[in-house]
Amino acid sequence: MTPQAMRSRVFLIPLLFFTSLRAADELPEPTISWEYPPVMTGSRVEVYRTIGDVKLNAHIFEPEDHAKTDRRPAAVFFFGGGWKGGTPGQFLPQCLHLAKRGMVAISVDYHVKSRHNVFPQDCVRDAKAAIRWVRANAERLGVDPDRIVAGGGSAGGHLAAATALLPGFEDDDNKGVSSAPNAMLLFNPAVVLAPADGHPDLLTAEKFADIRERCDGRPQEVSPYHFVRAGLPPSIIFHGTNDEAVSFPTVQLFQKVMSAAGNRCELKAYEGQPHGFFNPGRWKDEAGAGAKLHYYKTLAEVDAFLESLDYLTPAPIVETFDAGFDAKRFTTPIPNKNTEVRDGVLWTRGSSGGKYPPMVYLPVSGKDLAISFRYRHLGQGGMLWFFVDGDDGFGSVDHMLRVKLLRDGVQLQVDSHSLDPNHPLRQKQERPADKVSGAYRLNEFLPLERADLGANAWHTVKLVFSGESVAMSVDDKLWSKTLSRANFNAGKRKLLWMQNGGEKGIEIDDIHVEPSAPMP
């Protein structure tokens, strides 16, 4: 490949490449360990809790260049198994991946029914003790005590949620240290363990009876749903719609009440998938191939979620539309009837034939980003409308900032969100709330700022997000503005170019997206 072709590639984390592949046999085989005790390749072991003669291990995975003086984010994983069995090896591949991305990843053992004759309440005590242990030893472990993620699957997902939501269940070890994580990764989690008011058909009577028996007759005291409140850590849930062990409607309800309380809670629904759909190495043949694909897809979504929190650093994107152009990086199919790559640029033109002009979407991730691109008109009149989409603060993704590049100036529109249907800035009273978050889009229209963009010449657009502020410019000094809004301090998820350039169209080139430096 020529240097020019290499320069044109979009450089993203490898997982985004993996998720664009169609065949499971094209993907690397994850390192797995389903036995107990597990074989945890690449880890070291410390005991985080001792009760009687039982020592509970923490399997610690560290980045290659890790030092005790670091303050890295950490992820603590709890395995599934119905609080009866299971192995810390379930999350071995996720731990290896996150350590390569720069986090300290830890998969912990805990008491279970088959080995220790315990109830879920005892498992919750272990889980809270594990988070306390990591935070209490953060300086020695090279971990940031304010960036600890709790993750887990099924019963382990319940435990991860329990560390954040359930009061009590605190023991004397590391007393006074918070057991609450700063974020949650929940894989088909059991979050509703007792009847929910107003939802009589959520689970069958037989299912609730089984849960009650497992929980020693006291399921509500360990049911995360029943302790939802404002101010909880951000969370993401991965769940199959055909889950036979943990009913999909339970996580739908949990996500709804979490968002209604003002918490960020994302639900990634996997249509038609069963319980444990993301676990590589559990099945053979077609089911095994599907599990491997879903492992990589959920891992990519984990990365994007953690990047939005600044727990992982997103890789830069560089796209110059030369010989190495990879259309799979865009969610918009390229080429299409309006858009194609020609002569080393992206050419988009004409009418979509629908409600909106032709548009191009590019996925991104990260909170504080520096974004730049060039564009030029090929005909007369027209405009280019550039959107930045991000987390809406209530568990969904929507527009955050719109930059309308007209011929005679720049007009900005800020889109924020609220759960108040009567908010004075609500966009069109007939526009419904977001289906996922229940939030309403708010519009703030800023006045047109004059700038001469009439010539059919290349113009360079730059946006640098840092916290609640964004510094913007067109051709450096031709037009510039710094704007601060609370909703900018959130993860960025998509960039959108919408054009009205007629049949001659608009050309776009030199897209750059990378983490930004803090503003002075």
Q: Which of 251, 277, 308 is the last residue of a domain?
A: 308
Check residue 8 and give its pLDDT.
Answer: 29
For the residues 192-209, what does the mean pLDDT come to?
Answer: 96
pLDDT at 25 over 80: no
Q: Which of 308, 328, 361 is the last residue of a domain?
A: 308
Q: Is residue 262 part of a domain?
A: yes
Q: Which of 263, 282, 308 is the last residue of a domain?
A: 308
520 falls in which pLDDT band (50, 70, 90)? low
Residues spanned by the domain of 207: 25-308
310 or 189, higher pLDDT: 189
Distances (CA, A) of 101 to 59, 65, 71, 198, 274: 17, 11, 14, 43, 29
Indicate whether 299 and 324 sit together in one domain: no
Residue 14: exposure state from Cβ atoms within 10 A (0-12, 13-18, ≥19): middle
Which single residue is written with the structure tokens 């220790």?
A: 116
Average pLDDT, the chain: 92
Q: Hey, what are 25's tokens?
A: 């046999």
281 or 153, higher pLDDT: 153
Task: For 47-94, write each residue's pLDDT tens digit.
Answer: 999 999 999 999 999 999 999 999 999 999 999 999 999 999 999 999
356 falls in which pLDDT band (50, 70, 90)? confident
Which single residue is written with the structure tokens 């363990």?
A: 193
Check residue 281 and give its pLDDT.
Answer: 86
Task: For 209-267, write each residue's pLDDT tens digit.
Answer: 999 999 999 999 999 999 999 999 999 999 999 999 999 999 999 999 998 898 999 99
For the residues 161-175, what does the mean pLDDT come to?
Answer: 94
435 falls in which pLDDT band (50, 70, 90)? confident
Indicate whether 381 and 511 sit together in one domain: yes
pLDDT at 476 over 90: yes
Indicate whether 370 and 235 sit together in one domain: no
- CB contact at 8 A, 507 and 457: no
Indicate whether 291 and 387 sit together in one domain: no
Indicate whether 339 and 284 sit together in one domain: no
SS3 label, residue 225:
helix
Indicate whether 185 and 237 sit together in one domain: yes
Lowest mean pLDDT among 15-19, 22-26, 281-285, 437-441: 15-19
pLDDT at 451 over 50: yes
315 falls in which pLDDT band (50, 70, 90)? confident
The CATH number of residue 457's host domain is: 2.60.120.200
Indicate whether 430 and 335 sit together in one domain: yes
Q: Is residue 239 part of a domain?
A: yes
Q: Is residue 20 part of a domain?
A: no
pLDDT at 14 over 80: no
Indicate whether 392 and 459 sit together in one domain: yes
Lowest mean pLDDT among 436-445, 449-458, 472-481: 436-445
Q: Is residue 4 part of a domain?
A: no
**What's the rounded Cα separation, in Å, for the pair 17 and 480?**
35
Which single residue is written with the structure tokens 């047109």?
A: 448
Indicate whether 303 and 394 sit together in one domain: no
First-to-final CA distance of the chain: 40
For the residues 140-160, what does the mean pLDDT come to?
Answer: 98
Q: Is residue 7 part of a domain?
A: no
Indicate whether 237 and 369 sit together in one domain: no
Q: Is residue 18 part of a domain?
A: no
Of the CA atoms within 13 Å of residue 73, those in its CB half-sphere come to: 23
Indicate whether 336 and 264 sit together in one domain: no
Cis (ω within 30 of 0) for the bond into 189?
no
**Which amino acid appears at position 453 of this protein?**
L
Check residue 178 and give its pLDDT.
Answer: 98
Per DSSP bridges, beta strands 409-418 and 440-445 are antiparallel
Tell me the residue ranges of DSSP E strands in 367-491. 369-377, 383-391, 397-405, 409-418, 440-445, 449-450, 459-466, 469-474, 479-484
Q: What is the DSSP string of 239-299?
A: EETT-SSS-HHHHHHHHHHHHHTT--EEEEEETT--TTTT-TTSS-HHHHHHHHHHHHHHH
For the residues 504-515, what does the mean pLDDT come to?
Answer: 97
152 falls in which pLDDT band (50, 70, 90)? very high
Indicate whether 244 and 333 sit together in one domain: no
For the residues 511-517, what does the mean pLDDT come to?
Answer: 93
For the residues 34-53, what does the mean pLDDT come to?
Answer: 96
Domain total of the chain = 2
Lowest mean pLDDT among 134-148, 151-165, 351-365, 498-512: 351-365
Q: Is residue 6 part of a domain?
A: no
Which single residue is written with the structure tokens 């997103």?
A: 314
289 falls in which pLDDT band (50, 70, 90)? confident
6 falls in which pLDDT band (50, 70, 90)? very low
Lowest mean pLDDT among 102-106, 115-119, 240-244, 391-395: 391-395
pLDDT at 287 over 70: no
The CATH number of residue 62's host domain is: 3.40.50.1820
| Overall pTM surpassing 0.85 (yes/no) | no
Q: Is residue 1 part of a domain?
A: no
